[in-house]
Amino acid sequence: MLSFSVIIAARNEADTLPQLLQDLAAQTLPAAQFEVLIADDHSTDATAALVSAAASKSKFPLRLIALPAGTTGKKAALQAALQAARAPWLVCTDADCRLGPGWLAAYAALLQRHPQANFVSGPVLLTGPDTLFARLMGLEFAGLVGVGGACLARQQPTMCNGANLAYRRTAFEAVGGFADNAHLASGDDEFLLHKIHVAFPDTAHFLADAAAVVRTAAPPTLRALLRQRVRWASKWRHYQSPASRRLAVLVLGANVALAAGVGAGLRWPELWPWVLTAWALKLGADAWFLAPVLRFLGRHKWLGGLLPLQLLYAPYALAVGAAGWRGGYQWKGRAVK
């Protein structure tokens, strides 16, 4: 019986899709229980040809969905794949991700434990070269994963990641899908989480299973990182969820306060003991929170990068937040407003 439809939006992913398809073929969940639909968002490389060729010899049902002319963007691609999907559960990942063999089986196990679930958010791990820059990116990203999981555990959902999530088709349709935010290029994941939580309280869960970790490559350069984070930050001002708004204000406020404290210390040196105490408390709280998250992800050594990340994070967060509020960024060769 078909349980899951894995839906993937792809644009110019011919270099990464072969690895993802190999990972899907290696799933321990029987191939008869899932299908894969890849929606091609007008790729200019060999993405469509690659998927078509793979479909002819795939051990699991694999279909290429081509977006019609005049229809673009990730939400449109996901919507097209969803309309063609046949299973009651839609599982999402990105075309440039890697999956462990127990990925879908972990989802199946959670749904056995929580048969009333309507939304499941899974963990994501940044991978890349073992450099200080990559460690700092991974550490920040692990914090986002941890916050998202902790908030879901309290049934106050804030964030999730479209590289690893699933939702029940009937719940998606009941809340109107992407209709309220179709004009926004980013946020297909979190806006949907918030709407399902409002319509179906206590039915969103975090998949805290190491077998379900999805791996995605870290941005290769600082410029690429900033573009990605600005894209993510661009949806903050559109949040309707009180918990998400509170979290955004808390993050921004904490970093404004830390930066202001340094400025005050430079102006009034007698304030430095208070400023340093505030920074130490923030550092200690972050270490306490991140340590179990990093153990779960198998990256406990990244905790050593917490001090340099803390020193850099205040100006970084303020700059990204301001740019995201202003809007406008580049994605997959397109200018997005």
Tell me the per-residue pLDDT of 53-75, one tens digit each, with 9 for 90 and over: 999 999 999 999 999 888 888 88
The pLDDT value given to residue 51: 97
pLDDT of residue 50: 96
pLDDT in tens, 137-193: 999 999 999 999 999 999 999 999 999 999 999 999 999 998 876 556 556 789 999
* Average predicted confidence (pLDDT) for the chain: 90
Tokens representing 13 are 């992913």
Query: Could you tell me the residue ranges of all domains in the chain?
Result: 4-232, 244-336
Please report, for residues 85, 182, 335, the alpha-carbon distance to residue 88 in angstroms, rounded to integers and kept in the order given: 9, 23, 35
Return phi, psi of residue 88, to 5°: -75, -20
Strands, E assignment, the chain: 4-10, 34-40, 62-66, 89-92, 97-99, 119-121, 124-127, 165-168, 204-206, 214-217, 329-331, 334-336
d(CA 291, CA 152): 19
Which of the four pLDDT bands, split at 50, 70 and 90, describes residue 133?
A: very high
pLDDT (0 to 100) of residue 184: 61
Calculate helix-pair angle for 132-153, 272-297, nearest 10 degrees.
80
Q: How much is the average pLDDT of 84-93?
A: 97
pLDDT at 329 over 80: no
Per-residue pLDDT band at 209 (split at 50, 70, 90)? very high
For the record, the structure tokens of 133 come out as 């820059």
**330's tokens:** 């580049």
Region of poorest pLDDT, from 30-34, 104-108, 191-195, 331-335: 331-335
State residue 254's pLDDT score: 87
pTM score, whole prediction: 0.90
Architecture field, domain 4-232: Alpha-Beta Complex (3.90)
pLDDT band at 94 (very low <50, low <70, confident <90, very high): very high
Residue 335: predicted pLDDT? 52
| pLDDT at 166 (0 to 100) | 98
CA distances from 322 to 164, 183, 221, 228 (A): 27, 21, 20, 14
Three-state DSSP class for 257? helix
Name the DSSP letter for residue 20. H
- The full 3-state SS of 267-285, as one line of letters, equals HCHHHHHHHHHHHHHHHHH
- Please provide residue 184's backbone torsions phi and psi, each rounded to the nearest 5 degrees: -95, 130
Q: Which two tokens stand for residue 204?
A: 């969103």
- The residue ranking higher by pLDDT, 207 or 237, is 207
Question: What mean pLDDT do residues 104-119 have?
Answer: 98
Look-up of token digits 């404004």: 256
**Beta 4-10 vs 204-206: how paired, if at all?**
unpaired
Q: What percent of the chain is predicted at pLDDT more than 90?
A: 72
CA-to-CA separations, 64 to 38, 67, 162, 189, 190, in angstroms, rounded: 5, 10, 20, 22, 26
Distance CA 65, CA 85 (A): 10
Query: β-strands 97-99, 214-217: how paired?
Result: antiparallel
